[in-house]
Structure 1
Amino acid sequence: MDNSQKRPILVCVHPESAEEILYSLLTNQNFQVVVAKSSSECLEKIHSAEFNALVIDADFLKMQNEVDIPLLRELTISLPVIVTAGKENLEIENKIREEEIFYYIVKPVEQKELIEAVEEAIKWSQRNK
């Protein structure tokens, strides 16, 4: 399957997080993955291309203090958002859940759970385009 036929997913992660694991896992499942490593890059990519899903790490949100979660959700209202987070991120979890994200995954991320969440997000995205 060439890149034009793969399903585009935007992954926004902190550079020191498990970016390579997420990237490898998703590309091995034939998803086209675009990575953003800063809030400005994430927002730029959201504005410049269409994606079927956004996978964003809570550590990314925590480290990128200028990320306004309600604004991010407003920009991605038609985009299913999957958030990965550690158990210690209760404050961020509460803020994120208020924004009606598509799926919340507690770390360590299970391969099967992530793939199923992304596949469901893509189905939702394609039905609602």
Structure 2
Amino acid sequence: MAFMYERTPEIVSMHQDVRDELERVMFEVAARAEELLVQHRVEGVAHIDVEEGDYDKYVVLADNDHGNGEHDEDESYRNSAAAIEFGRRAYETTRTDRWGNEYTVKVGASTPLFILTRAAQLPKKRRRV
């Protein structure tokens, strides 16, 4: 059995060749994800962000949508990115019009688009919607 020192993953992750390859893969995944968003015409609701950690790089599907109910200005937008990636069940919600009258709205189900999953060429994990 091979022995690996505790800091080996950290040291390997700082190697320039590893960092360059991670940058290349991140760019490819982000470009494919942007293309898929445009194809499905959801680029106004969500966008692709690229984030960098100490060692890792992330491609993120982020929300732009203000239409998911009430929210604080500081609060991140609600679930649009999750619904785009994984789909959602149909549901009913109560809204209030500008005169203070409450009414019920039925929101239809959406099928998953798997934007990030397909961009990263990962297998899709289906779940019941």
TM (norm. structure 2) is: 0.23
Bigger-Rg structure (1/2)? 2
Higher RCO (C-alpha under 8 Å, 6+ residues apart): 1
TM (norm. structure 1) is: 0.23
